């Protein structure tokens, strides 16, 4: 059931927003895919999600890692994906019954195959929730921020002011199934970074669930690497994971 409070986070919500008891909660995801025979490859997806809800505050931290490797014909190991994403956010409601909140958000991403050694963001602003019915709501947020990145080709660091906007749609389909959709963008002078995360979660029991996730990450600006390779602007990640709630 959607609560009357408003919070917005840059990831998928695993805990019912109505549970504002002040306790820390954690969920851990793990997915492993190993292929042998004509193709030898391995993929790992892991994620740790921490949350704490009170009447006027909600805090969240996320650690998300994805690695995909394959063995080439010459016997070497090739990485097709190696991505670490960290984010943390705190939301302060205007009052205990408000649909509006003030947010402070920070993120860090290290993707070994894109144009940047790392990309980091700090942003703050206003968030609001729209309730459609008892099982469906959308959170919105917008605010100014600052992005600080390091280019892989030159080693130079770049900083610029951005505007961050995000929307998070949450639909409790049934007692055992849930769909969430996040869309966020950080618009700057040199680069616009956008992220979309779609997730369908099915509960197996009170602690264990299975989740199908599609993650899209887009950078409007890419740079040619020393090897001559030009990274794709759009990265796509599909994962099936088991989710355990602590």
Give the strand pairing for 100-111 and 116-133. antiparallel
- Please answer whether residues 5 and 81 qualify as being in contact, where contact means their C-beta atoms are separated by less than 8 angstroms: no
pLDDT for the residue numbered 142: 96
**30 to 80, 91, 136: CA distances (angstroms):** 19, 28, 27
Burial class (CB in 10 A: 0-12, 13-18, 19+), 84: middle
pLDDT for the residue numbered 13: 43
Q: Tell me: domain 24-245, CATH 2.40.160.40, correct? A: yes
- Say if residue 201's pLDDT is above 60: yes
Confidence of residue 160 (pLDDT cuts 50, 70, 90): very high
Structure tokens at 182: 């996040």
Confidence of residue 5 (pLDDT cuts 50, 70, 90): very low
Buried b or exposed e, range 157-184, using 16+ CB within 10 angstroms: ebeeebebbbbbbbbbeeeeebbbbbeb
Per-residue model confidence as pLDDT tens digits over 63-119: 999 998 888 777 788 888 899 999 999 889 888 777 889 999 999 999 988 899 999
Confidence of residue 10 (pLDDT cuts 50, 70, 90): very low
- Domain segments of the chain as ranges: 24-245
Query: Who has greater pLDDT, 165 or 56?
Result: 165
**Residue 190, Cβ neighbours under 10 Å: how many?**
12
Token pair 């409007």 is at which residue? 220
**Which whole number is the average pLDDT over 44-73?**
88
pLDDT for the residue numbered 35: 74
Separation of CA 49 from chain center: 10
Q: Nearest-5° angle of CA 215, CA 221, CA 223?
A: 110
Cα separation, 32 vs 55, whole angstroms: 38
Cα separation, 96 vs 113, whole angstroms: 44
Token pair 């969240």 is at which residue? 60
């Amino acid at each position: 059931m959607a609560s009357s409070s408003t919070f917005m986070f840059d990831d998928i919500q695993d805990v019912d927003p109505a549970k504002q008891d002040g306790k820390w909660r954690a969920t851990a995801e793990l997915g492993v895919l190993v292929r042998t025979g004509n193709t030898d490859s391995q993929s790992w997806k892991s994620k740790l999600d921490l949350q704490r809800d009170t009447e006027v505050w909600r805090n969240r931290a996320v650690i998300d890692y994805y690695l995909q490797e394959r063995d080439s014909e010459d016997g070497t190991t090739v990485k097709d994906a190696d991505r670490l994403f960290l984010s943390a956010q705190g939301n302060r409601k205007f009052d205990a019954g408000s649909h509006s909140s003030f947010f402070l958000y920070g993120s860090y991403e290290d993707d070994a195959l894109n144009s940047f050694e790392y990309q980091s963001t700090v942003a703050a602003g206003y968030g609001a929730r729209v309730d459609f019915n008892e099982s469906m709501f959308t959170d919105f947020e917008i605010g100014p921020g600052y992005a600080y990145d390091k280019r892989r080709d030159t080693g130079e660091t770049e900083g610029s002011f951005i505007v961050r906007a995000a929307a998070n749609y949450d639909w409790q389909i049934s007692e055992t199934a849930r769909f969430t959709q996040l869309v966020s963008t950080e618009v700057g002078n040199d680069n616009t970074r956008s992220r979309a995360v779609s997730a369908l979660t099915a509960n197996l029991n009170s602690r264990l669930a299975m989740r199908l996730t599609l993650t899209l990450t887009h950078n409007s600006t890419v740079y040619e690497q020393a090897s001559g390779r030009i990274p794709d602007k759009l990265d796509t990640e599909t994962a099936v994971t088991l989710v355990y709630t602590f």
